[in-house]
Structure 1
Amino acid sequence: MYDGHQGAADLLVRRFGNYVRLTSEEDAAIRRTLAGPLRLAKARRDLIAEGARPRAAFLIASGWACQFKTLEDGRRQIVGFLLPGDITDLNKLVVNRMDHSIAAVTEVRYLEVSFDAFQRLAADHPRLSEVLWWQTLVSLSVQREWTANLGQRNALERLGSLLCELALRLRAVGLGGKERYDLPLTQTDLAEATGLTAVHVNRTLQQLRASGLISLSGKVLHIPNFAALQKASLYSADYLHRDRPGTWRGDAVAGATGPREDHSL
């Protein structure tokens, strides 16, 4: 049976552990914060719509969601994917209306965690306040990378870079690896995330397959040689700032728990 609260807590603890080695007290405080009811969103349904008043931060416990903007004529641009362990922007605390929508790509289980709860967590545990800020800054860094992706890379580079990013983000929470992961996205999803047409995405996927850079079996993506896909896509993972645990002053706190992540490519 799926233990939603425990699973969500484990994911968030692991994600925070990518930034700093948590103490047992910090681990316990995070788990206490995730006390709300587990919610379910059907695939292709909105969790919250653009223009709505933000009511809480969403923590994805399972499934994939996306953040998107919709033009008046119905065209949609995906501006980010939310994977298990991701939290929606905490800066929504200071705005009155959502400037984008969030929708489930697959069936999604998620927790709504009040902004007050995160404020209390940060106030009671200053290192976690820094972690929350660091996560926000990484989120902004990802947005800059996506802008460069849309503005400068060709179709193969755009799609290859996105596949590399998803591999590393899933690996960070133990849900995949550089060589293989579940990819529930449709070609339309990929098109809306990369600024291409679905037809162009189809052709580019065929090109990636023909070059031996990827293979697809059902909804499972295989990357035989991650370094080769990275090179072909002109992809650098520096913007994910995955080296934080080895350099942060808080890393050697007494009582810290959990193994140090291997961030090598």
Structure 2
Amino acid sequence: MILRDFLEGQDVVRGGDRPSHCCLVLTGFVCRYALLPDGRRQILAFHPPGDVPDLQSLHLQIMDHSVAAMMPSTVAFIAHEHIQHATEQHPRLIHAFWRETLIDAATFRAWMIGLGRRSAHERIAHLICEMLLRFEAVGLAEGGVFQMPVTQQDIADALGLSNVHVNRVLQDLRRDELIAWQRPMIAVLRREALEELAMFDPTYLHMRNLPDAPGVAAEA
């Protein structure tokens, strides 16, 4: 295992790379993204500590997107051969990795629904609800407050909106006292109301041992 520190905005893995390691986020916050030929960016996913954002590189030789740090982050690189050896010695790991891949696909489906059918207010509310749950799951949120070091442009690039539109929606959410946001901290002030606005159903995250929260049922 190799530990590396990354600065905000620095690529952890680049599209076109042929990785020999998978990366595990230890501290910080990273995203997956892709660029169009003209430089426009689409953020594909956000990853808090504990996530392995490039698990697919075990079987797909070439990265078709990039992974970047969104704040100073520490990442552990684990050699593919070591992971493969571990799965041979401990077959249950195969099921764990397969489950992680399926949840990743479920999250992509949820994001696709958001991009295709949710309003701007619903998209942003849904993203905040999702990230709050994911940070709670790794013990990095308390009382509805968590650190998510994204800019308005990052949110725009993730949700298919303009920077101006994101700004207006965030102002509305603040005015309605649903959230407080002073980058990098986000506080969810009225969770049930935010979840209702987002039509948020966390089933797609398939989380176990979730903290008690309105509208959230832990998976058995």
- Specify the TM-score bucket, using the shorter chain as the normaliser: over 0.9
Any stretches of 5+ residues in structure 2 without a counterpart? none
Kindly indicate whether the alpha-carbon contact (under 8 Å) linking 1:179 and 1:222 is maintained by their aligned counterparts in 2.
Answer: yes
Alignment of 1:1-265 (within 5 A): 36-177=1-142, 179-243=144-208, 262=211, 264=213, 265=216
Distance 1:133 1:168, change over 3 A: same
Supply the AA of the counterpart residue of 2:172: Q
Kindly indicate whether the alpha-carbon contact (under 8 Å) linking 1:178 and 1:226 is maintained by their aligned counterparts in 2.
Answer: no
Kindly indicate whether the alpha-carbon contact (under 8 Å) linking 2:137 and 2:211 is maintained by their aligned counterparts in 1.
Answer: no
CA distance in 2, matches of 1:263, 1:198: 34
SS at match of 2:141: coil
SS at match of 2:140: coil
CA distance in 2, matches of 1:126, 1:81: 28
Supply the AA of the counterpart residue of 1:225: R
**98-107 vs 128-137, greater mean Cα deviation:** 128-137
CA distance in 2, matches of 1:261, 1:144: 21
CA radius of gyration, larger in: 1
Q: CA deviation at 1:58?
A: 0.5
CA distance in 2, matches of 1:217, 1:106: 15
Tell me the TM-score normalised to structure 2 length: 0.92
Q: CA deviation at 1:171?
A: 0.8
Kindly indicate whether the alpha-carbon contact (under 8 Å) linking 2:29 and 2:148 is maintained by their aligned counterparts in 1.
Answer: no
SS at match of 1:102: strand
The structure where strand makes up a greater share of residues is: 2
Q: Deviations over 1:153-179 (max 9, x none)?
A: 000000010011110111111111461
Distance 1:263 1:128, change over 3 A: farther
Q: Which has the higher contact order (CA 8 A, sep 6+)?
A: 1
The structure where helix makes up a greater share of residues is: 1
Q: Deviations over 1:24-74 (max 9, x none)?
A: xxxxxxxxxxxx121011110111211111221110011111100100111
Q: For the aligned residues, what is the CA RMSD?
A: 1.5
Supply the AA of the counterpart residue of 1:124: Q
Kindly indicate whether the alpha-carbon contact (under 8 Å) linking 2:149 and 2:183 is maintained by their aligned counterparts in 1.
Answer: no
Between the two proteins, the alignment pairs up a number of residues equal to: 214
CA distance in 1, matches of 2:206, 2:76: 26
Supply the AA of the counterpart residue of 1:39: R
Supply the AA of the counterpart residue of 1:134: R
CA distance in 2, matches of 1:226, 1:117: 42
CA distance in 1, matches of 2:142, 2:128: 11
Any stretches of 5+ residues in structure 1 without a counterpart? 1-35, 244-259
Supply the AA of the counterpart residue of 1:88: P
Distance 1:235 1:261, change over 3 A: closer
Kindly indicate whether the alpha-carbon contact (under 8 Å) linking 1:167 and 1:178 is maintained by their aligned counterparts in 2.
Answer: no
Supply the AA of the counterpart residue of 1:235: F
CA distance in 2, matches of 1:218, 1:192: 17
